[in-house]
Amino acid sequence: MYKQKKIAYNKYKRKVKEEKMKVIDKIALVLIIIGAINWGLIGFFNFNLVAVIFGEMTWISRVIYALVGISGLWGIKLLFDD
């Protein structure tokens, strides 16, 4: 009986972890898309949307750039997920 409860608990724990990872993956993808759109605007129209909205290299724009960069690194992990 104890072994069955332990197996059930481990399955539950794994499911919760997978659901959390899905949320993180979606957040990372949204930030990657925002970064891609911003780079597209810079490349095609020389227009930096992040700088226009939040200011040229203010602390908030730097945080956004950092989050997009971290999300890009997280995107490498997404390539190799099953």
pLDDT higher than 90, residue 47:
yes
The percentage of the chain sitting over the pLDDT mark of 70, rounded to a whole number, equals: 90
Its pTM stands at 0.73
The one-letter amino acid code at 54 reads: F
Helix (H) or strand (E) holding 21: helix 2-45
31's tokens: 């930030």
Mean pLDDT of the chain: 89
Average pLDDT over residues 57-79: 95
pLDDT higher than 80, residue 10:
no
